[in-house]
Structures are given as structure tokens and as C-alpha cells.
Structure 1
Amino acid sequence: MKRRLALLAPALLLSACAGPDLQSYAAEQPRLDLRQYFNGPLLGHGLFTDRQGRVKARFVVRMQGRWQGEQGVLEEDFEYSDGRKERRVWRLRHLGDGRYSGQADDVVGEARGRSAGNALQWAYTLKLPVDDKVYEVQFDDWMWLVDERVMINKARMSKFGLDLGEVTLSFQKL
């Protein structure tokens, strides 16, 4: 019995790490096009939960997106419940075939995104300031378009493959 458990444990760990399959959303409507959704003003409400599910931060984010052809800019202004403010400006590119790339000053290298149906999955590394240090953490960032105005966003944060917590957001086009 112990041998069976020892053989089964790695498979269970790997399956626990597996995320949703992007293509399973391919037929979902409305179809997500970042160039349309992130064009104009948006308002978001979100929170960060640690790996035990405790809410550690709440925030409001005001966004302004604009596109010219395949190039876009998304300005994000965060205000946290403790009064902190943060700004991130994404420079986005539509690469065709549901693929996107993005860069921001606090993103290491380039974010890579793929969309199918109403869903988008981003992968990137963010420089996250905590107290007097900056940590590079990986984001597995998923967005689902609910209707033409509302999007739900869940992003898992990890470092060295260990789960740090999750960011949950609701966006609304204004």
C-alpha cells in the first residue's frame, strides 16, 4: 500500500498544478478581443488573498485603454484600502491568432497572452515590492469576459513553483 501511495503522490501533485485548458473556452461567447474590451475607461475592484485564502489587500483600479491598430496602451491606477497608490502602464501588442504580448516597467521581460472564445491567459513575471525588498513573482493570469461590459480576472502568484496567493478582480467598461 505504501508503495502505491508513493507512486500516486507525484501524479496527484502534477494534476494539482494543472490549470484550465484555454481551448476548452473556444466556443464561449461573447468572444474576447482585448483591442475592443481594453479600449476606453474601465473600473475594477479586487483583492489579494494569501495561500490560506485570507484577504490581505483590497483595491480599486481605474483604467484607460487606447489602441492604434495592433498596438495598445493600458494605464492602470490602483488605490488600496490602506491608502497606498500604484500605477502600471502596459504596452500591448496584438500578434494575431489570439496571441498578445505586453510590457510594463515592473514586468520582467515580456508578458505572453493567448485567447480563445471568452477567455485569455497571461503568463508573466512581476517585480513585487514588499517592505524594503523587491521579489520577482510569476503570474498565471486568467480573464473571462462575462458580457460586453464585465470581465472577471483571477491570477495565481507563485515563486519557485510555490503558491503565494491569488488576485481576484472584476472589471467593468464605463
Structure 2
Amino acid sequence: MPAQLLAAPVDLDFLHSDSVPLTKSLTALQAYCAMTSHVPGWLATAFRIRDVISRRFNVAEIQGFSPRSPESVPEVGECLDFFTVEAICDQQLVLTSRDRHLAVMVCMDVSTGEYGLPQLNVTTSVKCFNTFGRFYMVPVGRVHGVIVRRMLANLQGYRFERR
């Protein structure tokens, strides 16, 4: 299943993709829950700083990620942390966050990787609508890969079993 994007790659303002082999089969939601199960202090602080600065520009607070059980499967249109669920099945979770400054889509795909082993692909696409959105993405774009790779590290030792 190919990653969903907000627009054609040439029309995006930011595109990042990362993947990691999985040690066991997981659904896309289980992978999300594992990735967000532990937020390092530096990232929690970054979210708080982001919220303080963004509040001055009438941008909604996101407050970061919170631990959640994959037993409670969200419906399309429901919130999952600060995202809206656009699509969900065992192999794919598509999340968006939109405001007047930018739109973000995160697509998490579980697929068969090298040697037939399961693999998780995380693709983030962003479309900026104005100057604030472009300024916002300057620091975010520089650290996004570091954040995603740190969150992917949470997959090690994930305890939920696939049903």
C-alpha cells in the first residue's frame, strides 16, 4: 500500500520518510501506540515551547503525545493526540493536522520489507499556506527526522501482540 501524501511531491513544502524493520508483526495503530508510548523530556519541552509561541499566533495547542492502548481503535474523523484519523486499517494509519497556516499528513504503513520481514514506513508531508507556516517549518523541518527516528526507537520492546 503506497504512502498517502497531501499533494504530489513536487507541490509539497516538506516531505520526509523513514522506515524500520519490525521484530514482530504489528498493526499500524500498534506501531503508533508504541512510538508515542514514551516521549523523551526534550521533546515534551519542545512541544510546550511550540505551544507557547504558537498561542501568540492563534494556533491551537497540540500538547504532544500521550500513551494509549491499541485496544481502543479510533474511527475515521476522531482525534488521535493532535491528529485527525483520515484512514485506518491493520496495514495503514493516515493522520492529518490542519490549520490556517499549514496542513500535515502522517502516513504509517506496515509492509513486507527485505527478506519478507515486516517493516514500518512513516511518511510525513506538509503543505504551507502562508509565511507563518513556512517559518514554522524551518525549525520543525530540521529536527523532524531526529524526532521520528527517536520515536521509532520506542518500537524496541513493544509489548502488545498482534491479534
TM-score between both structures, scaled by the size of structure 2: 0.41
Richer in helix (by share): 2
Greater relative CO (CA pairs within 8 A, separation 6+): 2
TM-score between both structures, scaled by the size of structure 1: 0.39
Richer in strand (by share): 1
Q: Which has the larger radius of gyration?
A: 1
